Amino acid sequence: MSPETTFRFILISNIVAIILSAIAGIGLEGSLPMELQTYLAWEAEQDVSTFLGMLMLTILALYIINVVGLWKFKPWAKKMYVVFTACSFIPLPLLGPTVMNAWEYMLYDIAILLEGALLVLLFVGPVANKFNPTFVECS
């Protein structure tokens, strides 16, 4: 498998792991103890401000654009992915308690590992050269 194909495989696998983690979180909520289910129900009832909702939609749209840019090896996508990754840590201390079932947590961990692999590939090896605008591939 070529390095470009490997990079794209990891990119898609990362997205699949994120989606499966969310599905596991929703689908297996009933497997949690009643106290945690009550907490999650209370958390879901909390109002999300319009501003915060619009911000989340904007971030999702930018993430999709970034994934397309990474797929096409665009130089701006590399920088954008690093910014996304760095900024994803900022709100974590503000979120409060996090409740996950085992499957959700496992898939989330896999997604984080794949994200780390993507970051390495963005800066090391032949895939990193694909994001260089002056890179010319000789066949």
pTM (two decimals): 0.84
Q: What are the pLDDT digits (tens) for 54-113?
A: 888 999 999 999 999 999 999 999 999 999 999 988 888 888 788 999 999 999 999 999
pLDDT reading at 136 higher than 90:
no
Q: Are 132 and 25 in contact (CB under 8 A)?
A: no
Place of tokens 């701006």: 76
Q: What are the pLDDT digits (tens) for 15-60?
A: 999 999 999 999 998 899 999 999 888 888 887 778 778 888 999 9
pLDDT given for residue 61 in this prediction: 96
Domain ranges of the chain: 3-130
